[in-house]
Amino acid sequence: PGLAEKLAHFAGQQSMAAETSKLLGKAGRFYPDVAAHGTTWVCCNASVTPRLQTGPMCGLVALAMGSTALHTLKHGTAPTDDDPGPKGEVDPISARLLEAGRDKGLTLQGEIFAAQSIARLAEEELGLAAVVVDDVDLQTVARHVCSGGLAIVPYDAGPNHEPELLNGQKAHWALIRGVGVRACGMEDALEQGNFENIGDAMWLAKSSTEGASEMLTGLLDSVPEEAVLLFAQHGKSRHEAAWPSKALFASNANLNTVDPKRLETGPSGEAAFVIPNADDLKDIRRKAVLLS
């Protein structure tokens, strides 16, 4: 890479370090129970360009963000048709997914109520590898993300879009882009070159570092689920979120029935959304889509 590319990469790393440090500081205040499990944050965090959804397009927007992030990671640049666009407008990648989803009978307005639909669009329209995981758990998602992949997880969104237990009434999709683990006594190992110190007792994995991935996945075996945060991006906010992993998977497991308002029909009896199983959201409950 030339000087311009090197400078851009360095600037991106600096920006990611500052963003992650700020996120961890906030998470430590909001989730003291997580912070109490250790003295040091050890984390990985992928670079993701946020984009806002228009209408019920949270799943498609999460997929568009994930596709762009993986393309940039693999090729060093964003796709040529990537443009998050201004608020209120559908970006080109999400628009292409919406058109394809309608053609395939997967959606009407951009809503997605099946993990398999996300995977199908990822593979057929974006050329990604996509695996639907049943009975999803922290280990599966976190290990995939720590190894350079991304995950799209459905959950019930609360007032601030955080995971809640609402029986599926506020089903939403989020892109999981990073993992934060609270640990003890790791400083000597962290200083060996695979991690960057980004603040007081905060360490961020350097991109594309195999040693960092191995250390993080090893940590996941030795700490309780309560000591793990997941870093998320979703279509309702430009800001990255950090959620306790236990809260996210509990919310995912409680996706049972759709909001009755989404079952309302038009004047001619036409449906407003494509919902495969409105009485039982089994197509998204306990599921996630792993992207690579």
pLDDT score for 3: 37
Exposure b/e, 123-154, CB count within 10 A at least 16 = b: eebbebebbbbeebebeebbbbbbebbbbbbb
Tell me the C-alpha distance between 277 and 4, whole Å: 51
Pairing type for strands 40-45 and 150-157 reads unpaired
Three-state secondary-structure class, residue 37: coil
Alpha helix segments (H runs only) across 31-88: 32-35, 58-75
Q: Which of 43, 44, 58, 146 is catalytic?
A: 58
Task: Read off the tokens for 47.
Answer: 């670079």
CB atoms within 10 A of CB 68: 23
DSSP 8-state secondary structure symbol assigned to residue 262: G
Tell me the C-alpha distance between 194 and 204, whole Å: 9
pLDDT score for 211: 78
Going from the C-alpha of 197 to that of each of 178, 191, 215, the distances in angstroms are 16, 8, 15
pLDDT score for 24: 86
Tell me the C-alpha distance between 101 and 107, whole Å: 5
Nearest by Cα to 252 from 289, 290, 291, 287: 287
Nearest by Cα to 256 from 288, 274, 279: 279
- pLDDT string in tens for the chain (292-residue length): 443 443 344 344 557 888 888 888 888 788 888 878 888 899 999 999 999 999 999 999 999 999 999 998 887 777 766 666 666 678 899 999 999 999 999 999 999 999 999 999 999 999 999 999 999 999 999 999 999 999 999 999 999 999 999 999 999 999 999 999 988 877 777 877 688 888 888 889 886 567 788 889 888 988 999 999 999 999 999 999 999 999 999 999 999 999 888 887 666 667 789 998 878 999 999 999 999 9
DSSP 8-state secondary structure symbol assigned to residue 89: S
Three-state secondary-structure class, residue 196: strand
Say whether 58 is catalytic.
yes
Tell me the C-alpha distance between 177 and 145, whole Å: 7
DSSP 8-state secondary structure symbol assigned to residue 24: H
Tell me the C-alpha distance between 169 and 156, whole Å: 7
